[in-house]
Amino acid sequence: RSEHDEQKSGPQFVTCENSMGVVQRSRGNLDPASPALRSETHIISRLAEATLGKQTTVEWQRFRENYDEIRNTIERVVPGFESYNERAREDGGFYLPNAAKERRWDTPDGRASFSAAPFDQFEVPKGHLILQTLRSHDQFNTTVYGLNDRYRGVGLGRRVLFMSPDDMKERGIAPVALVDITSHWQEQKRTLRSFYAIPYEIPRGSAAAYFPEANPLIPIDSTARESNTPTSKAVEISVQPSSS
C-alpha cells in the first residue's frame, strides 16, 4: 500500500498473508495522489451497495468506515483469526494455523491422505488452441508493478500471446507479429486484437496470455464442475494475424 488511507474512524490499514502463512499489517506513508482516490475496500463496498441494494444485510458502510469491523467479522467466521485486530497490530504479525506443518491430520485414521485426479481430455477443432491465463513477474493478483517479465524474458509489455514455435509456423505467424485472438464457447465468440505473438517453449496446441488483459476472452458461464470458478486455464481459442 503506497498512500495514507484515512476513513471516517481514522487512519486504516489492511492485512496480507505472505507465502509463509504469516498475516501482517500493510499501510502506506505517502499523501494520496488525488483527493478522488479511493481505497480498494471503499471501492468494493460501494460496488456491493450499488449492485446488491436491499438484497443483502451486510453493513457495507460500517466496513469501509472502519476496517477493524471487517476483521472482527472475519474473526467470528474463520478459524485461526482469533483476536485478529490485536494480533495484526503486533510487530511481525501472526502465523495462521497449518495442520500439515504441525503434522496434524484431521482424517479418520489420523494419517495424511493422498488422491489422484484423472486428466481432462480436451477435444478442440483442428487449428484451435487451449489458452491459459497467468501472471507475469512483478504481478500480485491483478496488481501489476512492472511491464518487464523477467521470468520469461519478455519486455514488450503485457499484450502478448505465448505460442509454440511450431503452431506459429503452421499459421504463418512470424515472431513478435501482431495477432488477433478469438475465444470460442458454444455459440459465443470474443476477440482481442493486436497482441504480440511470442515463440515460447510451450506444448503444441497450447497458448498463454496474462490476466487481466486476456480476461475478456473468458466466457462468463464456462465454469469448473466443482469449484464453479471461471475456466481461465482452459479456453478454446483461434489465432490469426492481426487485421488492425
Cα 178 to Cα 23: distance, rounded to the nearest angstrom: 43
Average pLDDT over residues 130-156: 90
Question: Which segments of the chain does DSSP mark as H helices, in order?
Answer: 40-52, 60-65, 67-77, 84-88, 165-170
DSSP β-bridge partners for residue 3: 30
136 contacts 149 by C-beta, under 8 angstroms: yes
Tens of pLDDT, residue by residue over 157-201, are 999 999 999 999 999 999 999 999 999 999 999 999 999 999 999
Q: Could you tell me how many helices (H) and strands (E) the chain has, helices first? A: 5, 13
pTM (2 d.p.): 0.70
Tens of pLDDT, residue by residue over 37-91, are 999 999 999 999 999 999 999 999 999 999 999 999 999 999 999 999 999 999 9
> At residue 236, does pLDDT exceed 90?
yes
For 100-130, the DSSP string reads: TTTT---STTSS------PPPPP---TT-EE
Q: Which domains does the chain have, with CATH numbers?
A: 6-95 (no CATH), 129-241 (2.40.40.20)
